[in-house]
Amino acid sequence: AQSVTQPDIHITVSEGASLELRCNYSYGATPYLFWYVQSPGQGLQLLLKYFSGDTLVQGIKGFEAEFKRSQSSFNLRKPSVHWSDAAEYFCAVGESDKIIFGKGTRLHILP
């Protein structure tokens, strides 16, 4: 079975600083990969997804992610964070018609 690891439970960055959230997956073939965001009291919103093709994927809200097969990684990046980016971020992988989620990384923004 596939699995997703988000090694950082919490990350704190200053507003305006760059951000990288880490995600590693285990899967033999090319996986379907996702990043979701969950704001307090909200459901999940899809930021971006990778199915195939260009390994650098652009998403909403200025986020991007890069698929690196050699490292089994799909890290999420943003060049300059805003206070409104404070939320929990979930990396996920598609397997057997269902989505398997990592345990999430909570992002805190310092003013």
Partner 1 sequence: EAGVTQSPTHLIKTRGQQATLRCSPISGHTSVYWYQQALGLGLQFLLWYDEGEERNRGNFPPRFSGRQFPNYSSELNVNALELEDSALYLCASSLSGAPYEQYFGPGTRLTVT
Nearer to partner 1 among residue 15 and residue 38 (C-beta): 38
Q: Kind of pairing, strands 87-95 and 105-110?
A: antiparallel
Q: Which amino acid is at 64?
A: E
Q: How many degrees, rounded to 5, is the angle at CA 22 between CA 34 and CA 2?
A: 55
Which lies closer to partner 1 via its Cβ, residue 15 or residue 106? 106
Q: Footprint of partner 1 on this chain (CB under 8 A)?
A: 32, 34, 36, 41-46, 49, 51, 90, 94, 96-104
Measured from the CB of residue 29, what is the shortest distance to partner 1 in angstroms?
14
Nearer to partner 1, 50 or 63 (CB): 50
State in angstroms the smallest separation of the CB of 15 from partner 1. 27
Is the Cβ of residue 62 or residue 94 nearer to partner 1 in the bound state? 94
Dist. CA 77–CA 58, nearest whole Å: 10
Q: How far is the CB of 105 from partner 1 (least distance, A)?
A: 11
Closest separation between CB of residue 2 and partner 1, Å?
A: 12
